[in-house]
Amino acid sequence: MTDATSLRVGMVGYAFMGAAHSHAWRTAPRFFDLPLRPELTAVAGRNADGVRAAAAKMGWESYETDWRALIERDDIDLIDICTPGNTHAEIAIAALEAGKHVLCEKPLANSVAEAELMADVASAAAARGVYSMCGFSYRRTPALALARRMVVEGRLGQIRHVRAQYLQDWLSDADAPLTWRLDKSKSGSGSLGDIGAHSIDAAQWITGRNITGVSALLETFVKDRPVAGELVGLGGHGATGAEAVRGPVTVDDAAIFSARFAGNGNGAGPIGVFEATRFALGRKNAMRLELNGTKGSLAFDFEDMNALSFYDAADGSDAGFRKIQVTEPEHPYTGNWWPTGHPIGYEHLFTHQAVDLINAIAAHQPPAPSFADALQVQKVLAAIEASAAADSHWHQV
C-alpha cells in the first residue's frame, strides 16, 4: 500500500474529466503542503493510440488498455474513475476489494441498486483503512464552502427556501451529435444526473438536510440526433444534420422538481425548487443556488464563481444583498492560491478535491462526500424519475 511519502494514482478514462483530474493531481502538491505526494503512475483507456497520447500529454508515467491491469499493479494505491456511469460499480468494487482507495466521478452509479452495493463495499473497505470518495467537485468551490460555513454558524437562521438551477445550452442545437451522455444505458439519465445531481448534492450539503420527497417533470425536447460518423449515401462528406443517420435520445433534456427537506427539532424542513437543463440559450454553466432563512439569505451563481451574495436581515430591509468577494486568505482554500482579489477557476475545484482526499487518506479518516452521501443523491434522482413517470405525483425518497 502507500509508502511514507507517496500516493500512486491509476486513472481510468482520459477525456474531459480525465484531463481535469490529471491537472488536479499534478497541481495539488505545488500549491498545498500535503502529507502524501500524488504520483501520476498510470492511466487506462481502451484505445491504445488514444491512451498513449493522453498519457504523454497529461503527464502519466505509463498507460494500460484495460482498467483491470491498473488494479492488478502493485505500484498503484488509488484508482480514479473518470468513465461513464455504467462502468462505475464494476471498477470501484473491484478496486476497493483489491485494497485500492477510490475516487469515483458522479453520479455514483446508474441505479440505486448499484449505488447501494458500492456503498456497502465502501463501508467494509473503510473498516480496513481503504477509503473512497465521490467527485461532487462543486463542494470545493470556495464561495459554496463559505456558504456552508455561514449556514453552520447560524447566520441564516432556520432555512425556509432552497432555490437551485443548473442551466446550460450546449444541446440546444437539434443537430448536435448523439453522444454517450444521451444514451441512458451509459449515462443513467440526462440533465438530471449530469448536472442536476450537482445541485442536489450542493443543496443537501450546504443546508445539512436531506431531500425527503419530490414532485417532478422531465422533458426530452429533441427525440433523435445524428449518429457521429454514420452519414447516409455520402461517405461522411458534405452531409447535413438532416441527412445523417439519427439515433434515439433516451434521456431527459430538462428536469424540474419541487422538494421537501428533512426537518429538525425546530419544525418542518425547507422546501425547494430545482431546475436542470441543457437548453437554456445563453447560459453556459449557470449553476445557481439561493437559500432564504429567518435571519438572512445567500445567493450564488457559478458564472461569477468567486462571489457570494449575502443579505443580513439585521442590516435592515433597505440594505439589500452585499457581495462577498471570496478571495481572502481566511476563505476556504483560497489562501493557497493568489493575492486577495485575484480569482480562481473551474479547474481549481478538482485540485481542492484531490487535496481533501489526500489529507483524509493520510489521516486515516473517511473522506467526504462518501459513497453513502452519493447514494442519497442517487435515491433522490430515482425518486424524481419515478415521480415524473407518474404524472408528477409526490414521491418519497
Residue 264: the pLDDT is 77
Separation in Å, CA 96 to CA 13, 83, 102: 18, 17, 7
Nearest to 70 by CA among 49, 56, 51: 51
Domains of the chain: 6-138 (3.40.50.720), 141-359+376-389 (3.30.360.10)
pLDDT tens per residue across all 397 residues of the chain: 445 699 999 999 999 999 999 999 999 999 999 999 999 999 999 999 999 999 999 999 999 999 999 999 999 999 999 999 999 999 999 999 999 999 999 999 999 999 999 999 999 999 999 999 999 999 999 999 999 999 999 999 999 999 999 999 999 999 999 999 999 999 999 999 999 999 999 999 999 999 999 999 999 999 999 997 543 333 333 445 456 799 999 999 999 999 999 997 667 899 999 999 999 999 999 999 999 999 999 999 999 999 999 999 999 878 899 999 999 999 999 999 999 999 999 999 999 999 999 999 999 999 999 999 999 999 999 999 999 999 999 999 9
Nearest to 43 by CA among 12, 86, 77, 1: 12
Residue 244: the pLDDT is 73
Query: Where do we find the cell 500549491?
Result: 31
pTM score, two decimals? 0.94
Burial of 184 (C-beta count, 10 Å sphere; 0-12/13-18/19+): middle
